[in-house]
Chains A and B, each alone.
Chain A
Amino acid sequence: MGLLSKKDAKLITDPLADNNPITIQVLGICSALAITAELKASIVMAVSVLFVLGIGNVVISLMRNIIPSKIRIIVQLVVVAALVIIVDQVLKAYAYELSKTLSVFVGLIITNCIIMGRFEAFALGNGPWRSFLDGIGNAAGYGLILIIVGFFRELLGSGTLLGFKVLGDPIEKTGLYAIGYENNGFMLLSPMALIVVGIIIWVQRSRNESLIED
């Protein structure tokens, strides 16, 4: 049996693939696209959402029986906003440069549909431990897509990964650049994020035909 029962483990593994929040549920796309030009920013964003969604789901789940349903949206917004302020202050204190790159998109975690969506759909009807697992699972599914998009955009756009020159030096013409390879600067522009996500959806749905919409 171990730490997780089969049902609980499914809560984590499902959102990673067949119920992915970005490609299947269409939630949380706003922030997913804007900050994925670098792998580092994508990872930081994924970790921030993991923190906010994990803790937020537990808090909402603990309060689910005392929140009047008429004002639940405002209550949820206040909980998320408080958690996001913590993330923002920590980033400003320990990674100031990065928080400048992410600019307003840290604040936009508040209105990230993933978070409100999981609160509404799961945390309001389930206990804290299951809500925690659901939060972690969905944030991981979100982070996975973010990291894939960030990986390709940084690799093809500037030839680096996390700032390391993995393809050689474009100015001194070493590595791949020696045989005439060029960086595709277009990958760094924002429209390419949309197209990369479109391609991920394409690949995923070709592999699993039950996901195809009509």
Chain B
Amino acid sequence: MNKEYIITVFSENKVGLLGEITAVLTQRSINIESLTVSESALQGIHKFTIIVSTESEQIEKAAKQIEKIIDVLKAFVYTQDEVVQQEIALYKVTRSTNVEKLVRDHHVRILEIFDDYIILEKTGHKQDTQALFELLKPYGVQQFVRSGQVAIIKSKHELLDEYLESINKNI
């Protein structure tokens, strides 16, 4: 049965690596629901957060194949209950009293106000940002973007630190 998994991948900064990592998933017909990439807390090491929906057996194999890529340091797989996930959504909405009421009721942040539209920001789970979109829709949403999800693991340590320490010991 399909289940949502969060794969975090730590890698060197190499041209083309994103393609190599996603190719492992496409070869197994695993669809990517969300993907974000940026430098991690460790300088020079990049972190990919990939949300996929697949079977448990598939995800373990895919993670091993990702880890096999030469420039990948480590790939970890988590289930939803092991992480705290968030994403940011931005909305460009036509100004109206209805919209202003929604903003107040849903604790939405206003980023900028223009003569005929406002830019709103909502942080939360995908269903929260989606729910706000549905509410705003009748009043004219001109643009709507989502950042994709980032995740922080609940366990005490960042596992990569332990891993890097173990490499340094073995040198």
| Binding partners A and B | no
